[in-house]
Amino acid sequence: MDGSPVTAAATATGRRGPALVVLCLVQFMLVLDDNVVSVALPSIRDDLGFTAAGLAWVVNAYFLAFGGLLLLFGRMADLWGRRRVFLTGVALFGAASLLCGLAREPWQLVGGRFVQGAGAAMASPASLALITLLFPGAKERARAFGVWGAVAALGGTSGLVISGALTGLASWRWIFLINLPVALVALALLPRLVPESRAGRPVRLDVPGAVLGTGALVSLVYGLLQAESGWGRPAAAGPLVLAVVLAFAFVTVEARTAEPLVPLSFLSFRVRAVANGATLLFSAAFYAMAFLLMVHLQTVLGYRPLAAGVAYLPYGAGILAGMWLSSRAVVGLGMRWTLIMSFLISAAGLVLLSGVAPSDGYASGVLPGMLVTSLGCGLSLPALTVAALTGTTEENAGLGSAFLSSVQQVGGAVGVAVLVALATHRGKALAATDGPRRAAAEGFSYALSVAAALLALGAVLIAALLGKDHHPDHALDQRLSR
């Protein structure tokens, strides 16, 4: 790998700091778009005429493209050049943001979100690779990744507030148009700050694996969204059967490919397998919760978009508190008990949120469940990352990180699809007798109860499969506790 010339050049010219700022700014933008649409969903629905199931695709199109293409584009960056792939991804993301901001039909917005996800899948792994080359020392790299991770967390938390402010004070279209200045700044500055770099050995791109894997995910989520009208209907059964066929073909291709997207041997390590399985359940529950809660606050409780965004601020504070406690819990209690405890706390918080009635106030109804849920979420995130990277080396640590990110995005897409379908089906069944507002509240409650059950299931799987005597790697413990 030709990382040394890159590092030397960057160090000599003193451009590593500005380069890190640009890379972090882009990452902030990418993470922001994970959830920036949540607050704006009711406004988007009313303006463009989305159905309940169709509205979920505004979220899921981004998740699917991001999660499904992340591993492919990570390898592409090594082969074609990390700076080139990063800049291509940023340009694609900016163009798609413009398309989303100008959308006049539902399909235009969904298509734009899918292209946004593809651009993010190109830019995110290339960004991490560039930071790795720019900061070769262990301590300076840890600081750089700490800044990068903190900015990413800030993007995830502030996305809801920014979305609420822009939607309430201007238009939902501005949640996409604000990406354009960031993309233009990155495209103008980064070529001046970071030279090109490529892998030292040829890397084959597993395009068939990426096509089959992404196709299976798209078919699965589409079938689940259509299932609200009945599991036996062709609109639901057909895509679900196709998803199974494509998934089988994906496994077959991966087993026979010399350089697969994910070597099957990589998942044979038990701790990583359990961690990624738990992450799948975790992401399904929490992405769906964010989607459903934002719709519930505005549709059932009557919050304006800006008020809904501000109401979500304590959730970010709870996550930060949980993350601060997590490193200490992993060292003191071990990974297994930290994860069990965090999943059960999150499940309890979701149960509290599921009981929020249309007549409840914010302080007495929404806030307690939100705080408990966010605390459990913050406890879980670092511990899951440690578990998912346990046993990795310099050769496959990147694969471990990319695979974990993919699982998070895919879990979020499937969770939103399934739980939104359950909430919609439940609401329709009760609308005739309870009225639309009460029926929507019951659908919300039912879906969050299922999300809580998913987290409880995750706690059981961790307790049964992770191993009583397992402790995280010492090096990872030290890294987490810094």
Rounded CA gap, 335 and 406, in Å? Answer: 22
- For residues 218 and 273, membership in a common domain is answered with no
Spell out the alpha helix ranges (H) of 81-172: 82-101, 106-134, 138-169
pLDDT at residue number 91:
96
The continuous run of DSSP H or E covering 21 comes out as helix 16-35
Q: Which residues have a Cβ under 8 Å from the Cβ of 415 and sit 6 or more positions away?
A: 283, 284, 285, 286, 287, 288, 451, 454
What string of pLDDT tens digits covers the 482 residues of the chain? Answer: 444 444 444 443 457 888 888 988 898 888 777 777 877 888 898 899 888 778 878 887 887 788 778 777 877 787 788 889 999 999 999 999 999 999 999 999 999 999 999 999 888 888 877 877 787 765 676 567 656 666 666 676 677 777 777 877 788 899 899 999 999 999 999 998 888 877 666 656 777 887 887 788 778 777 776 665 666 677 778 888 998 999 899 888 888 887 777 777 777 788 888 888 999 999 899 888 888 888 888 888 888 877 887 887 888 788 878 878 887 887 788 888 989 999 999 999 999 999 888 888 888 888 999 999 989 988 887 778 777 767 665 455 556 666 777 788 778 878 887 898 888 888 888 777 877 788 888 888 999 999 999 999 999 999 988 765 444 444 444 443 33
C-alpha 369: how far from chain center:
22
- For residues 153 and 21, membership in a common domain is answered with yes
Angle (nearest 5°) at CA 341 between 339 and 347:
100
Measuring CA to CA, which residue among 333, 312, 325, 450 is closest to residue 375? Answer: 325
- For residues 167 and 250, membership in a common domain is answered with no
Domain end residue (candidates: 222, 240, 258): 258
Region of residue 230 (left: phi > 0; alpha: psi -120 to 50; beta: else) = left
Q: Which residues have a Cβ under 8 Å from the Cβ of 424 and sit 6 or more positions away?
A: 52, 53, 228, 443
pLDDT at residue number 8:
42
Three-class secondary structure of residue 260 per DSSP:
coil
Structure tokens at 263: 């070597």
Q: Which amino acid is at 271?
A: V
Domain end residue (candidates: 258, 289, 323): 258
- For residues 76 and 110, membership in a common domain is answered with yes
- For residues 144 and 223, membership in a common domain is answered with no
- For residues 93 and 161, membership in a common domain is answered with yes
- For residues 435 and 415, membership in a common domain is answered with yes
Measuring CA to CA, which residue among 130, 172, 229, 205 is closest to residue 46? Answer: 172
- For residues 419 and 327, membership in a common domain is answered with yes
Angle between helices 367-389 and 313-333 (to 10 degrees): 40
pLDDT at residue number 462:
92
pLDDT at residue number 228:
59
Q: Quote the number of domains for the chain.
A: 3
Spell out the alpha helix ranges (H) of 204-312: 207-226, 234-256, 270-299, 305-311
Q: What single string gives the DSSP state of each residue in 311-377?
A: HTHHHHHHHHHHHHHHHHHHHHH-HHHHHHHHHHHHHHHHHHHHT--TT--IIIIIHHHHHHHHHHH
286-341 pLDDT, tens digit each: 888 888 888 888 888 888 877 887 887 888 788 878 878 887 887 788 888 989 99
Structure tokens at 316: 């970010």
Tracing tokens 């649409």 back to the chain, one arrives at: 37
- CA neighbours closer than 13 Å in the CB half-sphere of residue 429: 13
Rounded CA gap, 129 and 3, in Å? Answer: 10
Rounded CA gap, 412 and 284, in Å? Answer: 5
- For residues 254 and 272, membership in a common domain is answered with no
Measuring CA to CA, which residue among 438, 432, 419, 460 is closest to residue 292? Answer: 419
- For residues 245 and 268, membership in a common domain is answered with no
- For residues 215 and 361, membership in a common domain is answered with no
Rounded CA gap, 124 and 73, in Å? Answer: 9
At 141, which CATH number?
1.20.1250.20
* pTM recorded for the entire structure: 0.74
Give the structural domain span for 135.
1-205
Domain end residue (candidates: 224, 258, 292): 258
Q: What single string gives the DSSP state of each residue in 221-246?
A: HHHHHHGGG-TTSHHHHHHHHHHHHH
Angle between helices 270-299 and 436-465 (to 10 degrees): 170
346-403 pLDDT, tens digit each: 999 999 999 888 888 888 888 999 999 989 988 887 778 777 767 665 455 556 666 7
- For residues 277 and 221, membership in a common domain is answered with no
